[in-house]
Amino acid sequence: MFSNNWAAHILTHHGAGILPVMKSLILLMAVVLVGGCRTTSVSFPEHGPDGRNLRIERAIRDYLGWLGHPKPTGELTKTDYKKVVGLSFFTYQLTDLKGLEKCTQLKN
């Protein structure tokens, strides 16, 4: 049923119009994959004027958002800190872990 030349089969049975579509889809996938692998670095200070570690707070807020409990602003509460069981600091460029002690359920 299929010949050894699969490209000729596609062109014969599906028309020449499918190749530009396939090329576009492959290009789109490559752009998405390369863009998705890019890491971002933080551009905000590590500590606020009151001494809080802003980067750890950002990591916690991002984690809460990922859990479906977004809290983009406002004071983080004990309940918020108890929800945190794992954090990734890969893109936050931490030099100080002050504030992490509030995450009493942290495992990872």
Domain boundaries, the chain: 6-36, 54-102
Structure-model confidence comparison of residues 94 and 70, the more confident one:
70
pLDDT digits (tens, 9 = 90+) for 7-18: 666 556 655 566
Distance of alpha carbon 6 from alpha carbon 20, whole angstroms: 16
pLDDT of residue 38: 45
pTM for the model stands at 0.58
Query: In the structure, what pLDDT confidence band is assigned to residue 24 with cuts at 50, 70 and 90?
Result: low
Distance of alpha carbon 29 from alpha carbon 99, whole angstroms: 40
Average pLDDT, integer, range 83-106:
85
Q: Assess whether pLDDT exceeds 60 at residue 27.
A: yes
